[in-house]
Every structure is written in structure tokens, then in C-alpha cells.
Amino acid sequence: MITDIQTFFRELAASGVNLTIFYDAFDFDRFVTGLGNTLLLILASSFFSIVIGAAGAAVLTLSKGPAAAVVRGYVAVFRNTPLLVQMYFFYFAVGSIMPVGQNEIGLPQPLIGSFAWAVISLSLYSGAFNVETFRAGVGAVHSSYEEAALALGYNRRQAFFSVTVPLALRFSFASLANNLVDLTKATTVAYAVGVAELLYVSNQIWSDSLNTIEMMNVMLLIYLVLTGAVVFIINRVEAAMRLPGFGLGDGQ
Amino acid sequence: MTLSSNSQPLISLRGVRKSFGSFEVLRGIDMDVRKGEVVAIIGPSGSGKSTILRTINGLTPINEGTINVGEIKVSDPKLDQVKLRHRVGMVFQQYNLFPHKTVLENVAMAPIQVLKQPRRQVEDRARKLLAEMRLPDKADAYPGELSGGQQQRVAIARALCMEPEVILFDEVTAALDPEMVKEVLSAVRKVAEDGMTCILVTHEMGFAREAADHIYFTDRGVIVEHAPPAEFFTRASDPRTREFLSKVL
Amino acid sequence: MNPTNLLSQILEWMPFVLQGFALNILMSLLAIAIGTMFGTFLGLGQLSPGWIIGAPSKLATQLFRNAPWLVLLFYCIFLMPYQINVGGISIQLPSWLRATIGFSFPVAANFSEIVRGAVKSVPRGQWEAAEALGYSRRSTLFRIILPQCITRMIPPWMNLYALLLTATPLSMIVGVEEALGRTQAAVQAQSDSRVLIPMYLALLAMFFLYTWPINRLSLLLERRFRTK
């Protein structure tokens, strides 16, 4: 079976479409590693960016003091500067003053590697957008729900977490899906700090095998599948959490 | 009911004033409600009726005056809100049930989470209340699956489940289709007949006339006059009251 | 070296970086112009009831909207010729120009969605009223619907421009000497790790000072249009 596939793609290569990843074990391994790293980047950064977004929106809603000003400043800076420059700033500039450890053979090795910096950078960037998303979700929940909770003796914090948040989440899905699609696309930027993600390994493969067009098309296709998968998953979660008589368009 | 003037009122408002920006909604409100009494507040829209209710449970803070519920001073900045709202329940015009909780959860959640009462006991009480509201089979439905009238009866059960001493009804039939008004009004009447102290803001003059012990008429932030219904509807003295009644009756 | 020297050393490099930033702005202005033009066609194409125009417009919009900007950039850099011949005249396509074309694709796709969204946000009743008055579909779109949409499209269009400007440093990866590339070059030339943080902060500040007012204005306009 596997040899059949390899034979097929070898013959295809002979006719001009050279997809080394489907018959060359080395290229295949590189490619799978890249795909795996891309998936890891997406999962880790999505998780942290959602945590950052939720925490930021909670601070903006519950506090009016310096904490809220810090969150607003964070959102403004990360939304209005390039992700790539942010990533370089973390990787090269902040990385230069970070403590350096040693690897197993005694050579200096930074404690935070390029993958970790990429996750930090992507999470902070996407997190800034998620703060706005969740904040807007909270804003979409009519204040009468919070009021009803207050009238039942809940304090502001309890009312926020047990009534406003579950409803706000349901108003946030469309915008969150958008942000996570953007995040998925943005993981390619990690290429620039040398993370061996999909774009990086594809570039290596086409440099070695001189099949630029084929690899680019494969890569593009994979990103379209990945962004489609993100939208599909969010839609499934949204459908699972849909409430009777409560949805977009009717705030009651 | 005989209103002995020497018995302590459960709720009393004295000189209550409230402004939203430069607009003064309440311009000195005095009101006394005794235990077990049913009081209806009527008046034209925008006269501050709903605001009066919302000041009593502290949802709207006041600028001047005093409000007492039993020994609790509502205008006290160190007010224990849980204690106050344990004693004062509220039912809203738009029901405001929590759409992400089932009917039973809506009724039972506050006593469990806020009053820290045992779940089993609260849920038994909640089911009994739902049965009294003639909704025994709706416990596991979500609010969005219910009609407006059913939702409002759940909201009444939710307020009752906190075992308050007084319930504030804020135009509870105003958002309902006409055919559902009756079922909600009879639910309110049942609550009143069971001895609950009730303050209701309403446009249903017929209901106010037969269910209330006392009627307050408000206009432009003041109480123009108040009297028992028999007297109020037949011998209103103030021209503003007479004008209003001539429009709505 | 004391801090004053460090500061003056960094300031010395600023004109060099700022020239690079001018290229970021130039690329963004060209790409927004090209992208807006093609995006308008794509957007109106998406609204076409027939599938001959509708389907390809939708497909192109989704394709370029969901593809990573960097991947589209790679396509344009590696697969576009270095020069093209138009009517016997050969035009050079330096990498910054090819990168600009690369940025125009996602801009066009995003603008296509802005156009479609704006037209869809006009209530159905407007179409019906126009139809009742004897307007054709085409003249309803151009005379009645689109004029109402223009104001609604301005805030998201400004956001798109801001997003585009912050994407332009990606072209540095494919060798365009814009602000980030020049910052890197400057840092290497100084070979002093203490300049790293201030140099990158200065670069971040450049982008922030240019982009923040645009996003801010967009937000203000959006609020203003909404209350109308």
C-alpha cells in the first residue's frame, strides 16, 4: 500500500509534479514535524490567548482602577504594532537579557527557546484581540440579567461570573472564531525566528528538492484545511452551547 | 384588613430624592408599608414608579432621604446587600430569567449560592413553588422554551424561593400578550392572599382596585395622594389624579 | 560607554530606520489602493445572483482571506517574474513591488467581505421599496444601496489599512529593506547588545504612532455612524 503510494508519486514526479514528501522518507519526516509544530503552535497559543483575553475582559469589566488602564494599554500596543516586530523584540531584544542555561553537553542554551518565544508572542498578540472580543461579548449581554442577579442577593463579582460570563461567551463565538483563524494564519510568522513549523520545513524541502510550486500549493491547502477546521470546531462548540430562545439579535 | 396606625411599618420611605443627571425622578417620596399589606403604585409613565421600587431593594441608590426595611437602613453605605435582598424579592417586567439555567435552577440557584442553604431542601421548596405556580412539569425546561406568562410565573417562584418578607412587582404584566395577563395576575393574587407583603407598580387598574389594600398615585416624582382603593377610585381629590383616572378607566 | 552616548548612537541610526519605514508606508498605500479596487469587484461579484460571477468571486475571497499573508507573499516573491513585458516595454519588478502585490491579495479579499457585509446590512425592505418603484436590480444597487453603505464601510476599511501596515514588515523575510530589516541591519552594525531593546522599542513606537490614530479614528467614526 505505502509502496504503491510512493510509486504513484514517483511517477507523478517524472511527469513534472514533484511531491517529494509522499515518496521520500526524509522529506516526509521533515514535513510531518513541521505540521506537528504548527499544530502545537496553534493549540498552545489559542489556549493562552483565550486565557489572556478572558482575564483582560474580566479586569476591564470589574475594575476601573490602574489594572484596567494596564489592560487597555496592553491591548492598544499589541493591536497597533506588527506581530513580526513584537516577535523580534521578544526573541532578539528581551531574549538577549534572559538567563542562559546549559544543554546536556555543557554548551550555553537559552532557557526560553524560539518555540516558546513564538508561543508567548502569538499568545500576547492574539490575546489583545480576544480581550476586545470578550469585552464586546460582555457588552452584548443586557444589564437586566445582572440586575436580576443583584436583586437575588448576588454581589457584582458573583453576578458577573455566574450570569454575565456564561451569556457573554455565547455572544463571543463569531468574533473568537475570526481571531483564532487569524492566529492560525499568524503562526507562519514563527518562521522568522526559526521555529520549524510548516512554512519553515516547506521552505527547506523546496530548497533541497527544487519543487517550490508543489510545496507551496500543498502548504496553502493545509492552511485552508486548518482554518476551516478552526471554524468548524468553534461552530460545533457554539451549537452545543446554544440556548433555546437566546441568541444573536435578541438580547432578551 | 384594619390598618392600625400605631403598628410599625415594615418598609418606610422618608423624603426620598433621586436624580439621573440633571433630571430629578423622585422629588421627596414618603411611603409606609405594613406587614401583610398589598400596596399598588399607579401613575403616568415616567412618573418614577419603577424607580421607587428599585430604591427599596437598593438597585438604584438614592441621593437624599431614608429608606428602612425592618431594621435595615437601605441608604447606609455599609449595607449588607445579601441580608437586604434576602428580605426583599423582586419580579421584573421582562422576567429576566437566566437563559442558561433551567427553570428549576433559576428558582433554586440564589438560595443555594447566596444564602448557602442545602441544595436538597431548596430544590424541594422550588418544586413546590413551581407546582403552586401551576408549572410542575416545566422544571427541566429552559426559559426560552416557555411562553411569556409561564416565564413570569417562574420569576415569581424564583422571588418566593428566597423566602422574602416583601416582594416588589415591577409592571409584571406590561410585556405580556393580553391572553397571558390573567394567569400572571392570578399568580400575584395568590402570593398576596398567602399573606406576603407586596408592592406592585401596575397599569392594571382593575387588579389594583380589587387586590390592593392601599393605592399610591405618583406624578412627576411626587406622591400626589394615597388612599384605600374604594376611596381612591371614587373620591380622588387631586385634579391630576382625576385626569389620570379619566384616561385609564 | 555612558547612557547619553548610547542614546545619541541610537538616534544616529534613526534616519536610516525611518527611511525604511517610509517604504512600509509606500507599500501599504499602494497595496490598499490595489486591494480596494479589486476588492470592490470581488465584493460586488459575491453579490451577483448568477453563479458564473458569484461562485468564482466567493471562492477567491475565501481563498485569499484564509491563506496566511506570509504564504501569499512567498507565492508572489518566488513565482512572479522579475520583469514583465507590456507592449514591448519591460518593467522591472523589484522585490518590494512584488511584495506589495502579495499584500494586495489578502487586502482585496478582506475588502470584498467588507463590501458584501455592508450591502447585506441594508434592510431587505429597501430593495423591495426600490423594486416597487420600478428600479432594476443594478440601479437599486448603485443608486440606492451602495450610497448608504459607503459610510458603513469606512471604519472597517481603516482597520484593514492599519492591519495591512502592520503586516508590511513581513516583506523583510523575503529581503525587502523596510524598517524592520533596517533595524536588524543597524543592530548588527552596532554590535552592542545594549541597543537591542531601545532599537526595537523605537521601531514599535514608529508603528504605534502611525497605526494607533487610524484605529482610534475608525472607532470614533464607527460609533458616530452607529448612533445615526
Does the CB of A246 have a partner CB in chain B at under 8 Å?
yes
Kindly report the nearest CA distance between residue A146 and chain B, in angstroms.
9
What is the Cα–Cα distance from C113 to C110, expressed in whole angstroms? Answer: 5
Q: How confident is the model at residue C1 (pLDDT cuts 50, 70, 90)?
A: low
Answer whether C103's CB lies under 8 Å from C164's CB.
yes
* Per-residue pLDDT tens digits for A158-169: 999 999 999 999
Indicate whether B2 belongs to any domain. no
Domains of chain C: 3-79+93-227 (1.10.3720.10)
Residues of C in contact with A199 (CB under 8 A): 68, 70-71, 74
* CA neighbor of B87 nearest in space, from B57, B132, B67: B57
Indicate whether B181 belongs to any domain. yes
Answer whether B214's CB lies under 8 Å from B198's CB.
no
CB contact under 8 Å between C172 and A84, yes or no, is yes
What is the Cα–Cα distance from A94 to A97, expressed in whole angstroms? Answer: 6
What is the Cα–Cα distance from B121 to C167, expressed in whole angstroms? Answer: 60
Sign of the four-CA dihedral A20, A26, A32, A35: negative
Range of the domain at B86: 11-248
* Per-residue pLDDT tens digits for A221-250: 999 999 999 999 999 999 998 888 776 544
Beta carbons within 10 angstroms of residue A8's beta carbon:
13
Does the CB of A245 have a partner CB in chain B at under 8 Å?
yes
What's the Cα-to-Cα distance from B108 to each of A113, A151, B120, B124, B194, rounded to whole Å?
51, 14, 10, 9, 21
What's the Cα-to-Cα distance from A185 to each of A38, A137, B195, rounded to whole Å?
10, 24, 65
Q: What are phi and psi of A219, to 5 degrees?
A: -60, -45
CB contact under 8 Å between A144 and B98, yes or no, is no
Give, for B191, the enclosing helix (H) or strand (E): helix B178-193
CB contact under 8 Å between A84 and C207, yes or no, is no
The CATH class that applies to domain A2-240 reads: mainly alpha
Domain locations along chain A:
2-240
| Chain A residues with at least one Cβ partner in C under 8 Å | 76-77, 79-86, 88-89, 92-94, 96-97, 181, 184-189, 191-192, 199, 203, 212-213, 216, 219-220, 223-224, 227-228
- Residue B2 pLDDT: 46
Please give the biggest Cα pair distance in chain B.
Answer: 55
Q: What are phi and psi of C136, to 5 degrees?
A: -80, 170
Kindly report the nearest CA distance between residue A242 and chain B, in angstroms.
9
B84, B99, B110: residue with CB nearest A154: B110
- Residue C218 pLDDT: 92
What is the Cα–Cα distance from A130 to C83, expressed in whole angstroms? Answer: 43
Q: How many A/C residue pairs have CB atoms within 8 Å?
A: 101
Q: How confident is the model at residue C227 (pLDDT cuts 50, 70, 90)?
A: low
CB contact under 8 Å between A227 and C66, yes or no, is yes
- Residue C228 pLDDT: 55
pLDDT > 90 in chain B, percent:
53
Q: Do chains C and B touch (3 or more CB pairs under 8 A)?
A: no
Residue C213 has pLDDT above 70, yes or no: yes
CATH number, domain at B226? Answer: 3.40.50.300
Residue position matching grid coordinates 513581513? C170
What is the Cα–Cα distance from A84 to C93, expressed in whole angstroms? Answer: 25
Residue of chain A whose alpha carbon sits nearest to that of C179? A85
* CA neighbor of A122 nearest in space, from A177, A184, A60, A194: A184
pLDDT > 90 in chain C, percent:
56
Answer whether C130's CB lies under 8 Å from C57's CB.
no
Lowest mean pLDDT among A73-82, A240-249, B57-66, B135-144: A240-249
Residues of C in contact with A189 (CB under 8 A): 70, 170
- Residue B47 pLDDT: 84
Does the CB of B147 have a partner CB in chain A at under 8 Å?
no
* Per-residue pLDDT tens digits for B59-106: 888 999 999 998 889 888 788 888 888 899 999 998 899 999 999 999
The predicted model scores a pTM of 0.86
Q: Helices (H), strands (E): how many in chain C?
A: 9, 2
Domain count, chain B: 1
A144, A155, A245: residue with CB nearest B145: A245
Kindly report the nearest CA distance between residue A167 and chain B, in angstroms.
7
Pick B64 or B236 by higher pLDDT.
Answer: B64
CB contact under 8 Å between C203 and A79, yes or no, is no
What is the Cα–Cα distance from B18 to B34, expressed in whole angstroms? Answer: 24
What is the Cα–Cα distance from A138 to A132, expressed in whole angstroms? Answer: 10
- How far from the centroid of its chain's Cα atoms is residue A198's Cα? 15
Indicate whether B175 belongs to any domain. yes
- Residue C7 pLDDT: 85
Does the CB of A149 have a partner CB in chain B at under 8 Å?
yes
Classify residue B23 as exposed, middle or buried by CB count within 10 Å of its CB (0-12, 13-18, 19+).
exposed
A79, A85, A227: residue with CB nearest C200: A85
